[in-house]
Amino acid sequence: MDALQEMPTEFERVLAVVAHPDDMEYGAAAAVAVWTDAGKTVTYVLVTRGEAGIDGIEPAVCGPLREAEQIAAAKCVGVDVVEFLDHRDGVIEHTIDLRRDIVSAIRRHRPHLVITLNHEDTWFGRSWNSPDHRNTGRAVLDAVGDAGNRWIFPEQMHDGLQPWGGVKWMAIAGSSNPTHAVAVESGLERAIASLSAHASYLGALEGDASDPRGFITRQAESTAARFGGRLATSFQLFG
């Protein structure tokens, strides 16, 4: 396979928009730790609170629990602002309302780099991806273009949200077609701590996904094979 290119670094603000608590922590958080160390501002926007994510815990209990764990996880990698859009977990649809909410977040935070999670039909051709991931990722990619067009959701300007066309790059974490990578050795321990903060969710899992140290380390080592031997996190980058 082709070698991965270095991710660009000419940005100041990053906005990560994903479906659930823990979506950023399964790999991308290591890159976030590196970026916040470099003085970049990273903001997380979660489409849901993950309330349908743990079998046996009622959504009314699960949502606040996972929200608190996400906020703690974000702090581990230097992210202080975590917002929740309150769409329903498990039944996210790629709707105008979702695009509008994401456009609002982009116009509020005015990022140069936008990150989302794998929006493809499968995970590496081996297992089916969830509709929440697919629909969120595709809505994010659409919303980046919407955010710069003053004639799309113009009512937001009455609330002081001006169009923002300053997104230079869109990065897809967990893509089966990565193009770029970030060396993450300096952020690896904090990424492990960040995933570990999702204790309630991890406790309901089995196998590799329930082992933060093993999962994050193996992922970084696997990416290293295409990145000069450096422990890394990969992204599919669109300019």
80-116 residue pLDDT tens: 999 999 999 999 999 999 999 999 999 999 999 999 9
The CATH number assigned to the domain holding 132 equals 3.40.50.10320
pLDDT tens digits, 145-164? 999 999 999 999 998 999 99
**Residue 214 pLDDT class (50, 70, 90 cuts):** very high
Q: Given this model, what pLDDT does residue 27 score?
A: 79
- pTM of this prediction exceeds 0.75: yes
The number of folded domains in the chain is: 1
DSSP for 132-175, please give it: HHHHHHHHHHHHHHHHT-TTSSGGGGGGT--------EEEEET-
- 76: containing domain: 5-238
CA 57 to chain centre: 24
Q: Given this model, what pLDDT does residue 228 score?
A: 97
Report whether pLDDT(1) > 80: no
